[in-house]
Structure 1
């Protein structure tokens, strides 16, 4: 409950019961001083009738105020009827001013703004007459005293009116501020609700994007491990099926078995954490060297691996990405390039790691190839997606008959210790 609400409730209690209390107080004091003031029997009866009229007026108003709060025509009528009764009572006995002073306390709640000063002035006239000894003044000195008291009361009325206007202005400013704060809070709550809904939507979209990315990653892993292994096994078995040389057939059969075991290991590794088998015990340079050597032996191609710069232990994801790119590039070379020599270079250059795979094969037209593979596949597009997934890039340089160069550049992220 605000301070303004508490104050309004207290004034409501005063407006309901205060007039009765002040009327009783005025009646008792005036009755006790009736003889010293020389009141006649007719004046006493007149005061009694006026007191009854004041009680009836207040009773009627207490019924009306419940349905007509604030300044209204009924409030104006009530104010000036109360003033008239108070003026008549103080005319008969100045001590009834205790009741007439109500006019100072009820102007804001009963009178509209343009009548408030008139109501305050009328009350000042009543109280000045009471303070000067009663109305009407009997001598010239009495009129002078009445005029001085009226002037003093008027000044006080002006001051009180000014203070009341200031208080009302502050109240309206507070009310305006409260209204503005409520509007701001409502807008803020709406914004918070909208942000919550947007956040929930973004979470759903991020989850869906993560699922889709994970599916692509799994597909690429399967392609780079099981599919390549099966392709190698088929190639070795085809040689076995087409050669009459038992020793050559046995050699290719051994290679097919080795590839099968390797592919099985990759499958098991994929089930656990999708980390390449070659990186289980070795760092990236050793894993790449073994991969290049074994590939050269299977493909019958002269393959050379080189490391430049100071080798560092890379983050698992970075190392796995570069190894998968190398495997895919070598697989593409075996299938399409008909190369005689292949060079693989791993370069540590400050905050970057570069992997270059070059061959002297038949080459190709990159634009024509991108048009054919745009619909899908895990060749160059798969390698590029792998590099970009860890904030890297992949470029391909190739010309028909001039060989192919694949270069992957990724950030150098060190292994977490």
Structure 2
């Protein structure tokens, strides 16, 4: 766009000062050749008047066009043909005035269009050819022959350069359109970039909020699975102490309560730091589940069995921790709600899946009466299901009032790195 502005400024400078320069050159050469050309007194006075008229015409045109774009118009056409007529008349007086007439070859398309342009170029070619043939009026066949040849040359040049100018104009038009399209594309791209930046900022805020909410849910679930369950166990042991028939029994349950308190404290600390459960710190998932089931059986007095099937694999920490928490929650639910006398836990390694099954012979319940998920992520069955889904797994529950409960968690087998 800067180049186009520069071109327009140069054209404006030419239209303002160019014709003055050509008129001055023609006038000086005509004065120098008055005797050589053989100008009569009448021609001399006529040339003076015509030069004055040309100056007045240029002043009038400069005043009118100073603040207007140079584009084809009626005033521009009148100026062009008036200048061509003055150039022809001056060249009739002295051939060297053809310099002023030659202005008609420069930028005529910025003043006239169509047939008027062709007519103006022809008039200019006639004036120049006549001056080059020795001046007008023409005398003798030789002058007419030279004039005809020069006129043909000028017309041929006009046609050739006209086509070149048309091609250049078409190229300029295409380039201008391309530049405009690029500007629109750049504006749209900038708008898209601005929108993307705003969206990115919004996503960052949402991701931060989601991270905070997820961390709150994680801590809530960990507190529920560790501290809450530990406190429940401690309360149960203390209740037994309160009704113990002898000191030895009371001491035994007090030791269990103390062990549960220390275990819960350790789990709480590890939960805050997002570490693996204590049971997985020094052992794999099968050993941790076996220990958890045995301790639960001792604490509740129910018969508890643990079984492993398939080829044991060392699981990723997140997978192992998830399955252990699900087992702990399921056993806690059994002790609190099921009044079961037997419970069984099975860990199965099946190809690319790991399945954890927890069964009991307790009172059972209606699964349809339990919501699949609460508004806050929930605990109990909803929390167990959320844990499984967090690692691309699933959890199913089968139960019937009076016929026990079976909980099955299926998760992908992700091996320890």
* TM-score scaled by length of structure 1: 0.92
Q: For the residues of structure 2 that align with 1:130 and 1:216, how far apart are their CA atoms?
A: 100
CA offsets 1:331-378 (integer angstroms, 9 cap, x no match)? 01111222222221222233322211122222222112338x856741
Q: For the residues of structure 1 that align with 2:340 and 2:412, how far apart are their CA atoms?
A: 30
CA offsets 1:224-268 (integer angstroms, 9 cap, x no match)? 011000111111111121232332222222111111111111122
Task: Determine whether 1:205 maps to 2:206.
Answer: yes
From the superposition, tell whether residues 288 and 114 of structure 1 become closer, same or farther in structure 2 (CA, over 3 Å): farther
Q: For the residues of structure 2 that align with 1:287 and 1:139, how far apart are their CA atoms?
A: 126
Q: For the residues of structure 2 that align with 1:295 and 1:104, how far apart are their CA atoms?
A: 108
In structure 2, the residue matched to 1:359 is: 360
Q: For the residues of structure 2 that align with 1:87 and 1:270, how far apart are their CA atoms?
A: 103
Counterpart contact for 2:279–2:288, Cα < 8 Å = yes
| Deviation, structure 1 residue 141 | 4.3
| Deviation, structure 1 residue 383 | 0.2
In structure 1, the residue matched to 2:53 is: 53
Task: Determine whether 1:43 maps to 2:31.
Answer: no
Question: Which is worse superposed, 306-315 or 351-360?
Answer: 306-315
In structure 2, the residue matched to 1:368 is: 369
Task: Determine whether 1:249 maps to 2:250.
Answer: yes
Counterpart contact for 1:346–1:355, Cα < 8 Å = yes
CA offsets 1:290-316 (integer angstroms, 9 cap, x no match)? 111111110112212222333333222
* SS of residue paired to 1:344: strand
Counterpart contact for 1:221–1:274, Cα < 8 Å = no
In structure 2, the residue matched to 1:64 is: 64
In structure 2, the residue matched to 1:305 is: 306
Q: For the residues of structure 2 that align with 1:114 and 1:402, how far apart are their CA atoms?
A: 105
* SS of residue paired to 1:370: coil
Task: Determine whether 1:343 maps to 2:344.
Answer: yes
CA offsets 1:5-34 (integer angstroms, 9 cap, x no match)? 443333333333322222222222222222
* SS of residue paired to 2:371: helix
In structure 2, the residue matched to 1:169 is: 170
Counterpart contact for 2:12–2:70, Cα < 8 Å = no
CA offsets 1:165-207 (integer angstroms, 9 cap, x no match)? 2222222222122112212222222222222222222222222
In structure 2, the residue matched to 1:9 is: 9
* SS of residue paired to 2:26: helix
In structure 2, the residue matched to 1:401 is: 402
Q: For the residues of structure 2 that align with 1:6 and 1:61, how far apart are their CA atoms?
A: 22
| Deviation, structure 1 residue 2 | 4.5
Q: For the residues of structure 2 that align with 1:375 and 1:295, how far apart are their CA atoms?
A: 30
Q: For the residues of structure 2 that align with 1:273 and 1:49, how far apart are their CA atoms?
A: 104
Question: Which is worse superposed, 231-240 or 34-43?
Answer: 34-43
Q: For the residues of structure 2 that align with 1:205 and 1:89, how far apart are their CA atoms?
A: 83
In structure 1, the residue matched to 2:333 is: 332
| Deviation, structure 1 residue 282 | 2.1
Counterpart contact for 2:219–2:272, Cα < 8 Å = no
Counterpart contact for 1:337–1:363, Cα < 8 Å = yes
* SS of residue paired to 1:232: helix
Q: For the residues of structure 2 that align with 1:356 and 1:31, how far apart are their CA atoms?
A: 119
In structure 1, the residue matched to 2:413 is: 412
Q: For the residues of structure 2 that align with 1:375 and 1:7, how far apart are their CA atoms?
A: 70
Count of residue pairs the alignment pairs up:
415
Q: For the residues of structure 1 that align with 2:337 and 2:365, how far apart are their CA atoms?
A: 9
Root-mean-square deviation (CA, aligned residues, Å) is: 2.2
Question: Which is worse superposed, 50-59 or 261-270?
Answer: 50-59
- 1:277-288 aligned at under 5 Å gives the runs 277-288=278-289
In structure 2, the residue matched to 1:294 is: 295
In structure 2, the residue matched to 1:80 is: 81
Counterpart contact for 1:117–1:161, Cα < 8 Å = no
In structure 2, the residue matched to 1:138 is: 139
| Deviation, structure 1 residue 114 | 4.8
Q: For the residues of structure 2 that align with 1:367 and 1:159, how far apart are their CA atoms?
A: 91
In structure 2, the residue matched to 1:217 is: 218
* SS of residue paired to 1:413: coil
Where structure 1 has 5 or more consecutive residues not aligned to the other structure, the ranges are none
* SS of residue paired to 2:212: helix
Counterpart contact for 2:96–2:131, Cα < 8 Å = yes
* SS of residue paired to 1:342: strand
Q: For the residues of structure 2 that align with 1:98 and 1:380, how far apart are their CA atoms?
A: 102
Question: Which is worse superposed, 284-293 or 152-161?
Answer: 152-161
In structure 1, the residue matched to 2:19 is: 19
Where structure 2 has 5 or more consecutive residues not aligned to the other structure, the ranges are none
| Deviation, structure 1 residue 80 | 1.6
